[in-house]
Chains A and B, each alone.
Chain A
């Protein structure tokens, strides 16, 4: 039984595949579905570059197997602004220099998406603590934190940007 069927809804679209049991959710998304926005930085659950939402919760996709996601809904970075426009959070990243090489960025966006959904008015400390599951080696975090607080404010004001 080392190959199994799995049916996963990703960014609103259902995908049914037969995969090796050991295929991680990250590799499934990247190579089976061609959604390469989710990145692998460590494959042992620390750097957070692989973070996606599974049934609405941030999850390290390197620590989950595609077969475990059977019946679940997954959101990746590609699903954050499906209409081709950038979301408020993504625009805030541009305005606040929240990314440099961009490798950790998809994970950061997903983590902040969960935070802002659950905590619409986070303090700076709450933003920083929420980000500890995501490592960045380029920015020193300042731009990311500023982008998160900026986006939170814009979302509360109901403005699009």
Chain B
């Protein structure tokens, strides 16, 4: 399973990378390679040019500013997993990363690569959906900011133009003391999720839910926010019954079906995992709800 021939380019600057993408025909970005290279080895994907962003310093780094955590697109998943800043400001990311592939894949895989590849089962896109992340896309035309809701475009598709690359991801930082939860079900450790739920809860006095986000991966062609669940939560006092009622809204999603899992099963998992993720988020936000099965 050897890939078809291609030319390899290793830019050192963001501008150089953008220029290459603009002028080279049938060019693809090489980020971590953990999703792209298998497809090249199978010859499902054949490119004429590979633009390796591994040497572009501008695309790395983690910074906190204006209530946002800004993550460079080429940050390796392993580095994010071990980052104290990520754990402090966006703990949902850290939690989700434990489920992403295996150590070898996280050593090379990047957050930008995962978002651009847009596998419906991938964890990081679901996390970005939960955060209402802002994705910064760079090209020779400059940088444009796209809210995550507008970034996905169906099954393994995004609004990235052929000459664009993800430069950075902004995650809004939730109030200190908020709760997060992430649960997924996969056949084996590190496998792609058959379904996963990412939850964020900001709970105020009297256990009233001030802000809520529930995103699902693996269930639809791209990650979805379960707005019906969020609507049931916001403004209400948080308890086990409320969580159950919110999780039930996950049953309403339109699930995909493939050889790994049928639609009915995914819908069922969506509900179960939403329950577990919301429960974890509630407990972490300081609300004493019992651990669920």
- Are B5 and A22 interface neighbours, CB within 8 A? yes
10 A-B contact pairs sorted by A residue (CB < 8 Å) = A2-B8, A4-B8, A24-B41, A45-B38, A45-B105, A51-B104, A57-B78, A63-B34, A68-B30, A132-B190
The answer, yes or no, to whether B189 is at the interface (CB within 8 Å) is yes
Distance of A138 from chain B, by nearest CB (Å):
18
Q: A68-B52, A129-B189 are in contact. Are A21 and B7 (CB under 8 A)?
A: yes
Query: Least Cβ distance of B257 to chain A in Å?
Result: 23
A63–B103 CB distance below 8 A = no
* Residue in contact with B102 in the complex, picked from A24, A43, A62, A132, CB distance below 8 Å: A132
Structural contact, A43 and B41, CB atoms closer than 8 A: yes
Per-position 1/0 for B92-106, Cβ under 8 A of A: 000000000111110
What does the 1/0 interface line of B71-100 toward A look like (CB < 8 Å)?
Answer: 000000010000000000000000000000
Known contacts A43-B41, A59-B108, A130-B103; 16 additional CB pairs below 8 A are A2-B8, A4-B8, A24-B41, A27-B2, A45-B34, A51-B104, A57-B108, A58-B103, A62-B37, A63-B34, A64-B108, A65-B50, A68-B33, A129-B189, A133-B101, A133-B105
Decide: A21 and B103 in contact? CB cutoff 8 A: no
Bound-state Cα–Cα, A158 to B119, Å: 46
Interface of B toward A, CB cutoff 8 Å: 1-10, 30, 33-34, 37-38, 41-42, 50, 52, 54, 78, 101-105, 107-108, 188-190
Tell me the A59-97 residues at the B interface (CB within 8 Å).
Answer: 59-60, 62-65, 67-68, 70
- Closest chain A residue to B49, Cβ basis: A1
Contact of A20 with B5 in the complex, beta carbons under 8 Å = yes
Contact between A62 and B41 (Cβ–Cβ < 8 Å)?
yes
How many of chain A's residues touch chain B, expressed as a range?
20 to 34
Q: Is B38 within 8 A of A44, CB to CB?
A: yes
Top 10 A-B pairs ranked by shortest CB distance? A133-B102, A21-B8, A44-B38, A43-B1, A57-B107, A63-B37, A1-B7, A132-B189, A133-B104, A58-B104
Does A121 reach chain B (CB closer than 8 Å)?
no
Within 8 Å of chain B (Cβ to Cβ): is A38? Answer: no
Q: How many A-B residue pairs have CB under 8 A?
A: 90
In angstroms, Cα B38 to Cα A63, docked, is: 7
- The binding surface of chain A is classed by DSSP as mixed
- Closest residue to B35 on the A side, CB-wise? A45
Q: Is residue A105 within 8 Å, beta carbon to beta carbon, of the partner chain?
A: no
Task: Give, as a whole number of angstroms, the nearest-CB distance from B31 to chain A.
Answer: 11
Given A45-B37, A57-B78, the answer on whether A63 and B108 have CB atoms closer than 8 Å is yes
Structural contact, B8 and A59, CB atoms closer than 8 A: no
With both chains docked as a complex, state the minimum distance between the C-beta of A54 and any C-beta of chain B, in angstroms. 8
**Chain B min CB distance to A87 (Å):** 20
Residues of A within 8 Å of B4, CB to CB, are 22
Question: Once the chains bind, are A132 and B188 in contact (CB under 8 Å)?
Answer: yes
Which chain A residues (4-59) contact chain B, with CB distance < 8 Å?
4, 20-22, 24, 27, 43-45, 48, 51, 57-59
Please indicate the chain B residues that have their CB under 8 angstroms from the CB of A45 in the complex: 34, 37-38, 104-105
A104 to B82, CA, bound (A): 28
B41 near A60: Cβ-Cβ < 8 Å: no
- Bound CA span A27–B34, Å: 17
Q: Which residue of A lies closest to B98 (CB)?
A: A129
Rounded to whole angstroms, the CA-CA distance of A57 and B38 in the bound complex is 20
Contacts of B6 in A (CB 8 A): 2, 21-22
CB distance from A47 to the nearest CB of B (A): 11
Please pick, from B30, B41, B42, B104, the residue contacting A59 in the complex, using a CB distance under 8 A. B104
